[in-house]
Amino acid sequence: MPGSRRSQRQRAVSELRAQGRYGPQLRDVLPAFAGLGLAVAVAVATLAWLYRGLGFAGLLLGVVLLSAVATAGLRWHRAAVRRRGGHYTPAELQRLDDHGLATAAERMLNRDGWQVIAMPEKGRPRLYARRGGRQLDVGFRPADEPTTDEDTSASPAPTLRQVGRAGVDNLTRVVVSRGSYSRTDVLWASRQGGVHLVDGRQLYQWAGGASLDDLGLPG
């Protein structure tokens, strides 16, 4: 019966969409098509204007300029997609402020399968992440925080002192820095248990595709 076949098709389409296998709907792709049409219209109008004003030389100049703009736009788009997917170059990380670094870390955690919630504390960025039965409390060492000296009897960096006692609430505490940690910091973290320090070198590896587990995150 037609009605029965229609109902079956609707159920099949609904199941495929729920599984993400049916493909985008018109409302999903319409903005992209509209933007593409506008870009083509502007390009054609620009070429026509240059041709009327400068002749063939103007047309050639327009083609060269539009090609350069299109190439730059494509590179920017690819870089933006890469960053949204949780992959950053060292130069890109260095240009970020503390909150931008937290956004990058959130994307990298999502890339690795963690469910992440931003939980800023007193204006400082902080992330809570969960995957399976594992939980992370991710803090960030400010870029302008001075490095502690190498005296093993000294206190660790201020950011580490705020970490608190690890392991008491089943959280692994991760502190991310674009710089380095002193021997005092490393020894202090090793004595706490459940505290993992990510320095600049490890951060670049993480941003390049390695996971925190690859970098020695406690299980």
Given a cut of 60, is residue 3 above it in pLDDT? Answer: no
d(CA 85, CA 21): 20
d(CA 149, CA 146): 9
Given a cut of 50, is residue 65 above it in pLDDT? Answer: yes
d(CA 89, CA 92): 5
Would you place residue 75 in the very low, low, confident or very high pLDDT band (cuts 50, 70, 90)? confident
Percent of the chain whose predicted confidence (pLDDT) is above 90: 31
pLDDT in tens, 5-20: 666 565 555 555 544 4
Nearest CA among 118, 93, 115, 111 for reference residue 198: 93
Residue with tokens 């159920």: 11
pLDDT in tens, 29-52: 566 667 667 777 777 777 787 777
Would you place residue 167 in the very low, low, confident or very high pLDDT band (cuts 50, 70, 90)? very low
Report CA-CA distances (Å) from 100 to 136, 138, 139: 19, 14, 13
Given a cut of 60, is residue 115 above it in pLDDT? Answer: yes
Average confidence (pLDDT) over 118-141: 89
Which pLDDT belongs to residue 7?
A: 60
Which pLDDT belongs to residue 48?
A: 80
Handedness of CA 111, 112, 118, 120 (dihedral sign): negative
Average confidence (pLDDT) over 151-155: 48
Name which residue leads in pLDDT, 161 or 86: 86
Given a cut of 80, is residue 165 above it in pLDDT? Answer: no
